């Protein structure tokens, strides 16, 4: 795949993923450390209260720019797009922030916990900061400036975690977590605007109606799809919080947090790279198909291996990482790790829909998924958080088939091509699961189990990949070293 200037988009994807991945690892390492520290400083109820406050705010956050920042990436050559997108994002961000202030008390009443209201009011500031940062962030993505984006993300993580831990040590309770999030969001927005000041300098010029129509025509379906996808992602929190209470929600939240940090968030990192690259290559179906299959293989290898390992090792991970008071999260974490692994098989489909100018597909698929998942979770939640996690696994398996089916039709892919792309990941994931299970049979402590399992599982995965896809690992290593290799 080539850019207009003749560069290799595959190499650009690898380079971007390295920078974004490095920032992700560094940032999530900070988040993981701060989460572990906070788990030992705060009770499960504190995490539950914060989860209730952030659920509704997070819905507004995903649409705070009306999706118009995505138009900056999809339509990079249209004059006035940046001005129009900036105006839309700032105005709608102000509207949503004001709405959060007004709705804080009703949200607290809904959940029956007065502690939620002040936390929602605080998070309204983070909501506005996110809207302000959306267009500068899109400009950096459009220009493939992933190193800069990585530095900004790492700075945000450090500020968020550092402030939260300091305030928790001073006895701030759930307010510590929320204050850290607000400070981190404001720091990120300020740095993003400073970084893009040369491009943003002209945004004060008059915004034309034609430019507004252009960005909204693309952005609104994207925003709608993102809102529904967020609701799909958080419907389990809503149902558990409503039917099982704050303590069980706290257990479920941290049970989900570990696979989210290790597996699911990695897909968002890759998506931040693949969407602008797919947009550049959207005029060449052959290159799109080749790039998509390469991305599916890489993401599924990581997702299935990490998910299988975490699922098997959860009895050792929970007491070592979170503490013995969180043992109730062991089974939910194992199931949610499998859920995250299944999601890796469908990762990247939404980027294809957007890059091909078909964001309405995201709306349709997310609507179907929401209707099915909400119905099932409301029924099964009465049996506890384990039943909710089982339902998540079943739904993820079904919708992988649907989402990949739609993507295959758009790209003109055959079933055999997709199967060959994911087959090595199935072999590697199975090897990891068997290896970790064998390690747990050794009569030693949890810490020793983890110390033994990680290197052995990595070795088992590498061996499985060598047998099923001999050029996968050397090819990707060579690509990262900027060597030309044959496509696997």
Shared domain check, 264 and 135 = no
Burial class (CB in 10 A: 0-12, 13-18, 19+), 352: buried
Q: Which of the four pLDDT bands, split at 50, 70 and 90, describes residue 10? A: low
In the chain, the number of structural domains is 2
CB 8 within 8 A of CB 2: yes
Shared domain check, 420 and 353 = yes
- The reply to whether 154 falls in a domain is yes
- For residue 154, the enclosing domain spans 1-207
- The reply to whether 113 falls in a domain is yes
Shared domain check, 305 and 450 = yes
Which pLDDT score, from 0 to 100, does residue 12 have?
64
Shared domain check, 177 and 274 = no
In this predicted structure, the answer to whether residue 201 has a pLDDT above a threshold of 60 is no
CB 255 within 8 A of CB 388: no
Whole-angstrom distance, CA of residue 481 vs CA of residue 474:
10
Whole-angstrom distance, CA of residue 64 vs CA of residue 93:
5
Write out the DSSP string of 351-396.
HHHHHTT-THHHHHHHHHHHHHHHHHHHHHGGG-HHHHHHHHHHHH
CB 228 within 8 A of CB 76: no
Shared domain check, 241 and 198 = no
Shared domain check, 247 and 198 = no
Shared domain check, 424 and 332 = yes
Whole-angstrom distance, CA of residue 47 vs CA of residue 173:
9
Closest CA to 63 of 233, 216, 182, 224: 224
In this predicted structure, the answer to whether residue 2 has a pLDDT above a threshold of 50 is no
Shared domain check, 251 and 148 = no
- The reply to whether 213 falls in a domain is no
End position of a domain, from candidates 168, 191, 207:
207
Rounded average pLDDT over 17-25: 71
* Encoded tokens for 403: 């989402």
Average pLDDT, rounded, for the chain: 82
* Encoded tokens for 354: 């957007």
Shared domain check, 238 and 199 = no
pLDDT tens figures, 330-373: 899 999 999 999 988 887 888 888 888 788 888 888 889 899 99
- The reply to whether 227 falls in a domain is no
Shared domain check, 136 and 57 = yes
């Amino acid at each position: 795949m080539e850019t207009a200037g003749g560069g290799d988009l595959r190499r650009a994807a690898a380079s971007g993923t390295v920078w974004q991945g490095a920032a992700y690892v560094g940032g999530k390492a900070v988040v993981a450390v701060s989460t572990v520290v906070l788990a030992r400083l705060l009770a499960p109820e504190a995490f539950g209260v914060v989860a209730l406050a952030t659920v509704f705010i997070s819905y507004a956050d995903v649409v705070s720019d009306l999706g118009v920042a995505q138009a900056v990436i999809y339509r990079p050559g249209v004059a006035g797009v940046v001005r129009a997108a900036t105006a839309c994002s700032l105005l709608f961000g102000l509207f949503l922030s004001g709405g959060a202030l007004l709705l804080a008390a009703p949200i607290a009443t809904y959940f029956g916990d007065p502690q939620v209201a002040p936390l929602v009011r605080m998070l309204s500031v983070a909501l506005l900061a996110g809207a302000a940062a959306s267009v500068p962030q899109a400009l950096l993505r459009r220009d493939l400036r992933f190193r800069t984006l990585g530095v900004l993300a790492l700075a945000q993580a450090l500020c968020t975690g550092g402030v939260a831990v300091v305030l928790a040590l001073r006895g701030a309770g759930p307010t510590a977590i929320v204050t850290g999030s607000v400070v981190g969001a404001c720091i990120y927005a300020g740095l993003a605007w400073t970084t893009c000041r040369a491009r943003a300098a002209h945004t004060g010029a008059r915004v034309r109606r034609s430019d507004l129509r252009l960005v909204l025509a693309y952005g609104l379906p994207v925003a709608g799809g993102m809102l529904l996808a967020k609701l799909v992602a958080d419907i389990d929190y809503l149902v558990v919080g409503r039917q099982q209470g704050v303590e069980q929600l706290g257990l479920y939240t941290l049970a989900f947090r570990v696979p989210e940090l290790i597996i699911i968030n990695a897909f968002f990192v890759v998506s931040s790279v693949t969407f602008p690259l797919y947009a550049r290559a959207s005029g060449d179906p052959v290159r799109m198909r080749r790039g998509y299959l390469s991305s599916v293989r890489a993401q599924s290898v990581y997702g299935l291996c990490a998910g299988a390992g975490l699922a098997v090792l959860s009895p050792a991970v929970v007491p070592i990482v979170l503490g013995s008071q969180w043992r109730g999260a062991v089974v939910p974490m194992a199931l949610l790790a499998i859920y995250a692994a299944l999601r890796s098989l469908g990762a990247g489909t939404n980027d294809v829909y957007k890059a091909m100018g078909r964001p309405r597909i995201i709306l349709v698929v997310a609507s179907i998924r929401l209707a099915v998942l909400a119905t099932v979770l409301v029924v099964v939640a009465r049996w506890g958080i384990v039943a909710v996690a089982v339902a998540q696994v079943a739904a993820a398996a079904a919708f992988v088939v649907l989402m990949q089916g739609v993507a295959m039709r758009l790209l003109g892919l055959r079933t055999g091509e997709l199967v060959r792309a994911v087959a090595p990941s199935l072999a590697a994931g199975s090897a990891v699961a068997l290896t970790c299970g064998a390690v747990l049979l050794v009569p030693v402590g949890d810490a020793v189990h983890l110390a033994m399992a990680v290197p052995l599982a990595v070795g088992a995965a590498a061996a499985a990949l060598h047998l099923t896809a001999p050029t996968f690992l050397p090819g990707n290593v060579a690509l990262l070293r900027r060597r030309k290799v044959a496509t696997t």
